[in-house]
Amino acid sequence: MNIIKKISCLLLFVHCCFIAQAQDFITTVSINAQKAQTIDNKAFDNLKAVIIEFMNTRDWIEDNFEPEERIELNIVINIEEAASQTDFRAKMIIQASRPIYNSGYSSVLFQNNDNQFTFSFAEFERLDFSENTFTSNLTSTLAFYAYVILGMDYDSFSEMGGTPYLQKAQNILNAVPENVDPQGWNASTVTANRSRFWIIENLLNARMQNMRRAMYQYYMLGLDRIAQEDQTGKGLDAILKALEVIQEANQSNPGTVWVQIFMDAKKDELLNLFQVADPSTRRKVYGILVKLDGSHANEYRVLLQ
């Protein structure tokens, strides 16, 4: 190998290392296109690849995440209709998990079923994005969720620490034209309070700030301490206090999407955490969970056994 080739290989290696270090998300994407059989599957294979590249290689934040700190992001896109070779109506499931320190466990940070998602994509298209200028509904939606998730992640490490990223999500929403995917973005839609408008509205609403502060207690003072043998009790106490704050926020603002998203993400985790608690604590947690998520009351009854 001559010197030029050696230098080229070295530069490629350094470049690849830089990309890996800058990576904020570890993204997996699944696309179900059974209802779009007239479209060549290669188009969806390319869509999958460019979404992964878009999410994984973009510098979403100024900080550098260590490999063990990266957010695990899982995106499932179910194509419901192909209006043309490039225009689609879909449902999207977005789930993000945050690693818990001193353990091999990742806790679901965010989970949402976005059932009103329309987008355009050509087979060999590259994904371009600008925070304050609308480029496409595909990139705006992906970037919106990226910043919401980053905001929630930063909230889990410091009280209200995610505000700058949530404001970026708000900027994205503000840049979307009114006639683009209105059921996904607008306040008054058939999706009621599950639209992207209400997700960011709840997170930035002053009335919900205590719930955001509770995320620091839930994660940093709770889950991150439970893995330490001598801190398990204190960790559970912190999580219980966080639940009490969330219950107060829910009483003041019933039916908010933020509470629904929290419970969608945390239902199974909370059951697993508190099944080992003392009977008094389990009864207290049961009472809170039923008030926050009455539709799953029967599942929470395991805490009373």
pLDDT (tens digit, 9 = 90+) per residue, 17-76? 333 344 789 999 999 999 998 899 999 999 999 999 999 999 899 888 787 889 999 999
Q: 94 by DSSP, 3-state: which?
A: strand
pLDDT (tens digit, 9 = 90+) per residue, 270-305? 999 999 899 999 999 999 999 999 999 999 999 998
Whether 303 and 279 have beta carbons less than 8 Å apart is answered as no
Beta bridge partners of 91: 78
Rounded CA gap, 142 and 243, in Å?
A: 29
Whether 292 and 250 have beta carbons less than 8 Å apart is answered as yes
Whether 67 and 33 have beta carbons less than 8 Å apart is answered as no
Residue 127 DSSP label:
P
| pTM for this entry | 0.90
